[in-house]
Homo-oligomer: A and B are copies of this chain.
Amino acid sequence: MTTKATLYVCTTCRAGQEALEDEKRPGEILYERLTAAEAPEGVEIKGVKCLSACSSGSAVALAQPGKWTYVYGRLNADEHAADILEGAAAYAATEDGIIPWRERSTTFKKHTLSRIPAFGADDE
């Protein structure tokens, strides 16, 4: 598989906060933190305007053709950026998108909002 995994980051998320005009939104701060260094191997990071997870933001999603898609929420830059990047690299290294439970960070264990099967895959 040559296509990279994509880490989608909701850049407009307010994460439940009343955003002031001159303040960056939590989603934007998270996106900046995640893209501050080079992306992990096999991972491309894309900002998106809305992942429609507003009540559970900030949110990110991991997707790659042929793999389960995962959505994570209730994230913030300070606590979770490192785990998200590490988890994205682990996801990219899997065959099916499922990171073995014991290898998952607490962030990925506790912040999953949903997952969706790979299109056309057999049901688990």
Contact = CB atoms under 8 A, between A and B. Distances in A.
A116 to B, nearest CB: 5
Contacts of A50: 115, 124
Nearest to A6: B119
Contacts of A70: 52
Interface residues of A, number: 31
A6 B117 CA distance: 10
A15 interface: no
A89 interface: no
Contacts of A114: 51-53, 56, 59, 61, 71, 73, 113-114
A46 interface: yes
A56 B113 contact: yes
Contacts of A115: 50-52
